[in-house]
Amino acid sequence: MVGQRFAGKTVVITGGGGGLGGEYCRAFARESAQVVAVDLDHSGLDRLEKSIIEEGGHCEAQCADLCRESDVSALFERCAGSHGGVDILINNAGGDLAYNGPIEGFPVDHWDTVVNRNLKTAFLCARAAAPLMKRKRYGKIVNVSSRAARSVGWYGAVTVAYICAKLGVIGLTRHLAKELGPHGINVNCLVPSFTISGPLLQHHWDQMTGGERDSMLRATPLGRLPEMRDMANVVLFLASDESAYMTGVAVDVNGGSWMA
């Protein structure tokens, strides 16, 4: 343990079994948070929970299908019973499906799956967390969007459903910030660029041509891909009281590859 920034705080992190999700869980645990890591299955969660506990942190692995309202309700009811509520929610669950064709061939079930994973999960979790946070008159919600929502074509492996869903996450952030602000709840959004955080994204990077990789780096003023800690540091900031007067903000962490 290296810090006390989130001592006494309970944080729910969705998509906790993945690369960036796991990084967020470890970062909060190192700052003394009570971490509830949530994912669809236990494949990555069990290892994460064990490693955090071995480091002296606190982590509970919770398996849930966050596209199902009943699973989400049960998750937050458990948090209310075990921890007295939720202080921080990191809506990190998401992902895309492979498709590289025209819009007329895009499968409707792909659209539903991707939009549900990225946008519906954030909506359902925020809806369940809001009353728990209102009781405390305190809460931090950090939604995770994507650089893909900022401009089309920067990274060609994403689908139309993913782009639209991640745009929706930014819109959801703004609406929730306005609605929940009077209750002492801050809602902000991380907009990360392409981050190698696991085998799938490493594969995407490896499959690019040298020219494609060089083009991506040339379009980034800082001249490098981000490290996972670059994203985790911003999530910690947005979840902390250091950002107490920020709400409704979409924070771009992309090395300058897109500037408003």
Determine contact, residues 121/12, Cβ cutoff 8 Å. Answer: no
Q: For residues 32 and 8, give the distance between their C-alpha atoms in angstroms, rounded to a whole number.
A: 8
The encoded tokens of residue 74 equal 């049960």
Residues annotated as catalytic are 162
The encoded tokens of residue 133 equal 């946070």
Q: What is the pLDDT of residues 227-238, one digit of tens each?
A: 999 999 999 999
Instruction: Using the predicted structure, report yes or no on whether residue 175 has a pLDDT greater than 90.
Output: yes
Predicted local distance difference test score (pLDDT) of residue 154: 62
Q: For residues 133 and 66, give the distance between their C-alpha atoms in angstroms, rounded to a whole number.
A: 19
Least confident of 93-107, 145-159, 246-260: 145-159
pTM value is 0.95
Q: Which of 141, 142, 48, 148 is nearest to 96 (CA)?
A: 148
Q: Are strands 250-253 and 34-39 parallel, antiparallel or unpaired?
A: unpaired
pLDDT band at 155 (very low <50, low <70, confident <90, very high): low
Q: What is the mean pLDDT of residues 75-102?
A: 96
Mean pLDDT of the chain: 94
Least confident of 19-28, 36-45, 128-137, 153-162: 153-162
To 10 degrees, the CA torsion angle through 218, 22, 58, 36? 120
Instruction: Using the predicted structure, report yes or no on whether residue 30 has a pLDDT greater than 80.
Output: yes
pLDDT band at 174 (very low <50, low <70, confident <90, very high): very high
What letter does residue 62 receive in the DSSP assignment?
E
Predicted local distance difference test score (pLDDT) of residue 208: 83
